[in-house]
Amino acid sequence: MEKILFDLHQLRAFITVIDAGSFSAAARQLNQTQSAISQLILQLEKSLNCQLIDRRTRPVRATLLGHECYKFSIKILAECKQMQNWLHVIESGKLPLLRLGLVDSVVAVAGLQILKYLQPKVDKIHQITGTAPELLTALQAGKLDIIITMINGDVPDSLSLYPLITEKFFAVTPNDWPEQTIEQLCKHHNYIAYSHQTPTGTQTQNWLKWRNFKA
């Protein structure tokens, strides 16, 4: 790996000079001498082998290359600060961030309890809701860390599945109908079904199909 010849102190000094508009103002903000700030900038320019600041103007301005360096420097320092905070949170025993997806029906029944359970274990929770297919797509795209949903069909090899609850299907009929088997119901009555777009709809239709019941 190629050696990096500059450090974060130089980047911070460079950003502060550009933001403040002068070496003296940057020195006051950073509680250093003006000569120390000038030396840091010179070392950075020497390491990168280019001029970053146009010293002829007042206030001083970044050169064309300096503008590019400024954008990268902002990102680098922000990432370093995030890393520092991230590690500190982990050290405290919490997960720094959890991107959580909940299927709509789960939110209505247990959403609040799930968030209360996670709160002491996670520093920040970003929660979204949606249908099962939407959440699965978001998980596979890396936009979510975990989803609580209904799964229909095989789970992709790249994901881990942890069953939480199981549910039984049941048939609902008018009160005055005589007791009938599922087969009799399918032969003589229409079936109001969940949408095929949902796992529940697919699961119930498959359950009937595998038993040769044509509702």
pLDDT digits (tens, 9 = 90+) for 149-185: 877 666 777 888 888 877 788 888 999 999 999 999 9
Whether 159 maps to a domain, the answer reads no
78 and 106 inside one domain: no
178-200 pLDDT, tens digit each? 999 999 999 999 988 888 777 78
94-130 burial by CB neighbour count: b if 16+ within 10 A, else e? beeebbbbbbebbbeeebeebeeeeeeebbeeeeebb
Dist CA 98 CA 118 (whole Å): 9
Q: Do 81 and 113 reside in the same domain of the chain? A: no
Total domains, the chain = 3
Burial of 32-69, coded b for 16+ CB within 10 Å and e otherwise, reads beeeebbebbebbbeeeeeebbeeeeeebebbeebeeb
Domain co-membership, 198 together with 175: yes
**Which pTM does this prediction carry?**
0.50
The boundaries of the domain holding residue 179 are 167-215
Secondary-structure percent of the chain, ordered helix, strand, coil, rounded to 5 = 50, 10, 40
Q: What is d(CA 19, CA 72) in angstroms, rounded to the nearest whole number?
A: 15
